[in-house]
Each structure stands twice: as structure tokens, then as C-alpha cells.
Structure 1
Amino acid sequence: MRAEKKKTKKKRTWVKVTLITLGILLLAAGVYTFMVYNSFNDAVSNMHEETNREVSSKRTEKVSLKKKTPFSVLLLGVDAKSGNSGRSDTMIVLTVNPILESIKMVSIPRDTRTEIVGRGTMDKINHAFAFGGAEMAIDTVENFLDIPIDYYVKVNMEGFADIVDAVGGVTVVNDLDFSYDGFHFAKGTIELSGKEALAYSRMRKQDPQGDFGRQKRQRQIIQAVIKEGASLSTLRNYDDIFDALGENVKTDISFSQMVSIQQNYKEAAKSLEQIQVEGSGTRIDGIYYYAVSDEYRSELQNTLKKHLQIAE
């Protein structure tokens, strides 16, 4: 009888210890989550940049993130040393559709000849940012693709190295052996630090594909950063990651919108299709341009409209 009481007492003690331990772990997890949440909120506050743009004229209704409306984002890679007078050498449009569970990533060559909206001139598409900042770049890309650009993200390419380092570096599969900016990049799977990733994504002249090869490497780095940033192993570095984002990224996406996207658009990440705008090089008055045919452009526009579920 006494032995049974002793056994029961031990069980109760272990139950108490287990519950107390569990409670401490839950409390610690809650505090940690709260710290991450606040840190991310602060970073997004630093990142947030308002524009004077209203809802795109190419939309009949405003995007509802709660209703999982497919949306688009323009990613601009800019040299911050030039400020707003710089050119956006990287222009990538993402169309995100959680219903179709897919994302399309469209790379627009920087030399693409098109109308610069707001100036009424035909010029290289990357000049739009130099002439009128993010707003003119957005308007020009909207006109070129004939789809709404709902949000934009502007990245300081010089500071992009800090973002790569903050996630612990990235791993990519390199298909071209080359050296650039003091670094050598062998063929095959390679690991890159921030400075290496920046050099890797900038090389153009040694690549037989020219700017297309560079854009491919830029997409590789972006995808690798997203993959690393989403992994659990990077959570311990959240302060570094959020600091790097806050200092080098500007966007018109608010904190609450980011939370909604994270909650409602996870399915879209299941499939990512990369699209390279097709065209050919030409010279006009001695200046090199990348010319895109009306036929191909119309085909691309229809593809993106269908993905955004917008009537053609």
C-alpha cells in the first residue's frame, strides 16, 4: 500500500515537472515569437515607401489579399550610389496566383526599347527609373506588359550582399566557369557569400548569353535568398536579416499586407516559372536596343493576364 502511494506520488511529481517544463517552453516560444514579430514590424517600417499611385487603371477592383486575389510585384534592382538618378539594371515582374498555386517570374532586359510613360519618348526601359523613380518605372512596365503592377520592391544591389550574408550565404548551380571582380566561379554547385553573390549576379561581358545569362544568375540568387530566408535555421539570425532588409529594401507593401500574403499565398510558392522576354538586338542612331516584336509582346501579355485572372 505504501509502495503504491509512493509510486503515485512519483507520477504526480513527473506530471508537474512535465507541465512546468512545457509551460516554460511555451512561454519562451511566445516571447521569442513576439520578439521576431516586433523586429520584423520595425524592419518593414524602415522598408515602407509610399508612392502617389492610386489603384492601377488596368484593374476594375482593388486587390483583396484576404480573398486571395492574384497580384503582381515589380522588383527593381538599383545602384544606390546613384540614388534616384541611377538606372534599374534589374527589372523582374512576379505574378502570384494562390489559386493556380504558381508564380511567374518575368525578366525584362534593361535595354528593351519601349515607350517611357510620362515622357512620351521611346527609350531603354531601365531609363524610366532614372527619369522618374519607381513611379515612372511602374507606369512604363504596366504599359509594356499591359497588366496592373500592384506593388513594387526596390533593392539596393550594393547592399544585397548584406542580405545574402544575413541568411548565411546561398547555394547555386553554376553552368559557366568564369572569374569576375576578384572571384572565381567554377561549374557545378557552389556556395556564395554576399560579395561573391553580388559579383556572380553582375557578370555580363564574359557570358555568351550576355545580359540574359546575367539575368538568369540574378534570378538564381533571388530564389536562393528566399529559400534560405524561409528555412528554420535562419531564425536565429532574424535580427541580422531584418536589419539588412530594412537598410537595403524599399517597398509600398505594408506590414499588414505582408502578413496577409504570408498567410494566404503560401500555395503560390509550389510552382515557379521563369520567363525571359524574347527579342533581338538592334541599333538605332548608333544606340543599342533590345527589340521585342508586337506579336511576342501580345502573347506574353495574354499569358500574364490569364495568370492574374484578368479578362483579355
Structure 2
Amino acid sequence: MAKKLSPRARRRRRGRRIVNTLLIVLIIALIGAIAAVMAGTKILNTVNRADLKSSADLYRHEVDGYTNILLLGVDTRDLSEVKNSRTDMIMIASINNSTDEITLTSVYRDTYLQMGDTSTYDKITHAHYYGSTEMSIASLNRAMDLDIDQYALVNFKGVADAVDEMGGLEINVEDYEIDELNKYTKETAKIVGKKSYTIVKKPGKQVLDGCASVSYGRIRKGVGDDYKRTDRMRIVFKKILSKAKSMDVKTLYQVAGAILPEIQTNLSNKDMMSLALKLKKLNVGDSKGFPYSKTAGMVDGVSYVQATDLASDVKKFHQKVFNEPDYEPSATVQEISRIASRY
């Protein structure tokens, strides 16, 4: 049996976990970069910069022709609490360097994987608690044969503020989602200190404010659980991208001012500006949750999302996302698959 995280590592933080629905921070970073191009780099300097360890410690597996950026949403109220936090959203943005198309891959937070190169296997959400962003990246690089060495991390308050600056998002709310959505919207509003927020009274397409949009991705109990929740995150990402493309510079600057101070990243100003120049051309291609073939499993009485065959899914992932028809998983992936898929 693989070694488990300590009881302390499983201790819940005060308050309920916050699922950062709109934590697709690459797009938010691009919005900030566009504003900065027009008004100098001063606003970009409000981003919280944090370097990673050397690439050798991240266990990179080179992927030719693509840039992979890890997008993380943490269960904290502000960036001062990032240390020892869990990642409630884990998404990989894979950018085709030739076409600028983005493929989004949401990794289910409860997926049973190896923690970095340790003997510990646990939920991937715990990697950040156990070893910060470096371990989150190393865990995914090893388990999926990736070359991630860039990331962006954000908490939910800045996202709610940014969506409000954007004028809200039009989202189709199903009738069975209303009760849970309103419950979480009230809780989110209380946490971020907003006295005014959207309460949904009927199903259908409608504009949700920042608190309600954040809460849209938090709901899972009785309305699709963790699998459907990741779908909602990708829905919101596409809406952010679409709306960002149509905004004028003044609005983009306001959005940037709201979100950039709430972002932690190792992307430089130059990186962000380079990406900003592509924003108008970016298209969101196919997006999936990972692992593809999965089941709900139990290990020592704890429930997990478990890949039925991780190595097979990684092979399909590289074939679909990186157009590698002859790809074969590395020995590292095969070993992780042997352990993570056996329960």
C-alpha cells in the first residue's frame, strides 16, 4: 500500500473549500498584458511573482511544438494563505505554437496520483499542500509526460471582482442547479464582502455577476459532482475568452486592475506581453476532463477518482492534444499507472 499523507495534511482549512470557477488565469493575465501594452508595464508589476525550482526538479518530458501552462485555483481567501493550500482547480492550457489554438484539460482534483517523486500516492489536490506549486507541476509532468514549467495561480476574490468589471457572464442555468447555486452565491458574497449579488429565480440564459459566476463552478452536490464541476469551469473559461476579445482597452485595463494583484505566477512581463499579442487569434479547441476513463475508488476508506488505465489515457491525451499518433507512455507513466490504477 502506498504511503498516505499525514492526518495533518488532510485537515480541512477553516471555512468551506472555495472552488475558483473562473480560475483560468492565463486569459486574465492576457487581459492585463493588453492593458499594459497600451499603458506601459506599471500595472503588470502588481502581479505577485514567484520563481520555481530548476527544470531538473520538475521532471519535464519535452513536448515539441506546444507551450503547456498550469492554471491553479487554491482554497484560500487571499494570496497570503497560499502556503499549505490545496488546489481546487487544476487545469492545463496547451497552446499550439503554430496555430495558437488552446486545448484545456481539467485534471479532477481527487485523482489518485503519485506526489512528485515521493512514495506517497494521494489526491492530486494535496500535492500543493505537500510541496507547493513545484510538487503540483512535478506530479503532473511525471504522470502525464508533460514539460510544464510555467504556471499561474489565483484565488477566487480577484476573479469575482474581475467578472464584475466585465459586466458579468451570460450562463445557462439549469433548473436543478438553482438551489445549490444560490446557496454558494450567498456564501461567496459574504466571504468577499459584497452586499449585492445575483440570486437566480428561474432557469435559462442569464447574466451572473462575479459572486454567482464563481459559485457556478463550486456547485457539485447533487448536480453532477466533481466531473460536472470541471465542465462548468471550462464553460466559464470560454465565455471569459469570448468577452475579452470584444472589450475596449479601457474595460480591459479595469479588469486587469482587479485580477492581477490576486495572481501569483512565474510568467515574466515579456511572457505576458508576448501572449497578449495572440489574444485576438486564440481559439479554444476541444476540452476534456482527465483521466478520461475513470471510476470512483476507495483507498483506506477514502474516496478517490481513479484512472481505469492511466497509461492508456496518457497515450490518448498525447494523441489528441499534441497530435502524436505514435506516442508511447514513458516508463515513469507506466509505473505510476500500475500503482494508481490497481485499486
Instruction: Please tell me the TM-score bracket, short chain as reference.
Output: 0.7 to 0.9
Residues matched between the structures, number: 271
d(CA) in 2 for partners of 1:176 and 1:49?
Answer: 42
d(CA) in 1 for partners of 2:215 and 2:35?
Answer: 34
Aligned to 1:23: none
Change over 3 Å in CA distance of 1:38–1:99 after alignment to 2: closer
AA at the equivalent of 1:78: V
Aligned to 1:24: none
Give the unaligned 5+ runs of structure 2.
Answer: 1-32, 187-198, 329-343
Pick one of 285, 295, 298 that aligns with 1:272.
285
AA at the equivalent of 1:132: G
Pick one of 236, 257, 261 that aligns with 1:221.
236
* 1:274 partner SS: strand
What is the TM-score of this pair, normalised by structure 1?
0.76
d(CA) in 2 for partners of 1:97 and 1:114?
Answer: 27
Pick one of 66, 71, 82 that aligns with 1:75.
71
Deviation at 1:46, TM superposition (A): 2.2
The 5 A counterparts of 1:253-268 are 253-263=267-277, 267=281
d(CA) in 2 for partners of 1:184 and 1:250?
Answer: 32
Change over 3 Å in CA distance of 1:88–1:204 after alignment to 2: same
Aligned to 2:298: 283
Are the aligned partners of 2:238 and 2:284 in contact in 1 as well (CA < 8 Å)?
A: no
Are the aligned partners of 2:164 and 2:209 in contact in 1 as well (CA < 8 Å)?
A: yes
Deviation at 1:176, TM superposition (A): 5.0
Aligned to 1:104: 103
Deviation at 1:98, TM superposition (A): 3.7
Q: What's the CA shift string for 1:76-123, capped at 9, x where partnerless?
A: 011223432221010011111042452211011110000001543000
Are the aligned partners of 1:47 and 1:250 in contact in 2 as well (CA < 8 Å)?
A: yes
Deviation at 1:239, TM superposition (A): 3.9
The 5 A counterparts of 1:70-149 are 70-81=66-77, 82-149=81-148
Give the unaligned 5+ runs of structure 1.
Answer: 1-32, 64-68
d(CA) in 2 for partners of 1:155 and 1:121?
Answer: 26
Deviation at 1:58, TM superposition (A): 3.0
What is the TM-score of this pair, normalised by structure 2?
0.70
Q: What's the CA shift string for 1:195-227, capped at 9, x where partnerless?
A: 1111111111031x2111111112222222222
Identity %: 22
Aligned to 1:230: 245
Are the aligned partners of 2:36 and 2:43 in contact in 1 as well (CA < 8 Å)?
A: no
Aligned-CA RMSD value: 2.9
Greater C-alpha radius of gyration? 1
Change over 3 Å in CA distance of 1:57–1:47 after alignment to 2: same
Change over 3 Å in CA distance of 1:305–1:239 after alignment to 2: closer
d(CA) in 1 for partners of 2:258 and 2:326?
Answer: 35
d(CA) in 2 for partners of 1:264 and 1:49?
Answer: 22
* 2:277 partner SS: helix
d(CA) in 2 for partners of 1:34 and 1:244?
Answer: 14
Pick one of 196, 201, 204 that aligns with 2:217.
201
Greater fraction of residues in helix: 1
Aligned to 2:60: 58
Change over 3 Å in CA distance of 1:40–1:106 after alignment to 2: farther
Aligned to 2:190: none
Aligned to 1:29: none
AA at the equivalent of 2:219: M
Change over 3 Å in CA distance of 1:59–1:142 after alignment to 2: closer
d(CA) in 2 for partners of 1:310 and 1:130?
Answer: 36
d(CA) in 2 for partners of 1:273 and 1:49?
Answer: 30
Change over 3 Å in CA distance of 1:57–1:210 after alignment to 2: closer
Pick one of 190, 197, 200 that aligns with 1:184.
200
Deviation at 1:236, TM superposition (A): 2.4
Change over 3 Å in CA distance of 1:300–1:47 after alignment to 2: farther
Q: What's the CA shift string for 1:248-268, capped at 9, x where partnerless?
A: 11111111112222335754x
AA at the equivalent of 1:280: T
Change over 3 Å in CA distance of 1:243–1:124 after alignment to 2: same
